Amino acid sequence: MRDELVKKLQSLQERKRLMCSRSTKIREIELKRKIIENVLEVMPESSETAVHLRAIESEVNKQDIALRPWKKRKLTTSISSTSETPLPTPIAVNPSHPKDPSLIHADSLRKGTLEWRLNRALESKKIDLAVEISDRIGDSSSSSTVLSNETISSITHKPGESMEKPKYRKPVWL
């Protein structure tokens, strides 16, 4: 009886060790993949280093398929799609800079105002919307200094939407 329990314990310990090593390998593969993707974003596609990194990436994908065979279809289609069609070189239009937390808070406080919507329209290069919003800002500032909620909601709401506030009901269990 004792020998059986000792064998069972040893087999469970071996399974645990194998599972831990497998999850460690999976984490290692994911880390390699992230590093390669980040470097490939910066690297010009025609360079020798990029070609070498793609070869390493395919080896990493093969290792991943060996550990997780259910991902074979996803990884093989991504490998074939990247090898057949070259990706266009990335162009940074608006590089993202980390914002100051106080600016983020101030931005969230004025979120929804016409000025905020105008800035968003300009950032997303929606010229027609920006012109319409700036006209509304000019019209409302000449008539009054305080913008009404109707003016703000008339721009953002679609014509078919109702402008009523939702009615709050008591929960069923009360």
Domain extent listing, the chain:
2-84, 101-156
Backbone angles phi and psi of 24, in degrees to 5: -65, -40
- Tell me the one-letter amino acid at 69: P
What token pair was written down for 30?
């994911």
Backbone angles phi and psi of 148, in degrees to 5: -85, 155
Residue 88's pLDDT is 46
Please give the average pLDDT of every successive group of 10 residues along the chain, which has 174 residues: 83 80 81 87 85 88 83 65 49 51 59 76 83 76 50 52 59 64
CA 137-143-126 angle, to 5 degrees, is 15
Residue 172's pLDDT is 67
Residue 89's pLDDT is 47
Residue 92's pLDDT is 47
Run of H or E residues at 111 = none
Judge residue 43's burial from the number of C-beta atoms within 10 Å of its C-beta, 0-12 exposed, 13-18 middle, 19 or more buried.
Answer: middle
Rounded Cα distance, 65 and 74, in Å: 10
- Residues with Cβ < 8 Å from 89, sequence gap 6 or more? 44, 45
Residue 170's pLDDT is 67
Nearest to 117 by CA among 85, 151, 145: 151
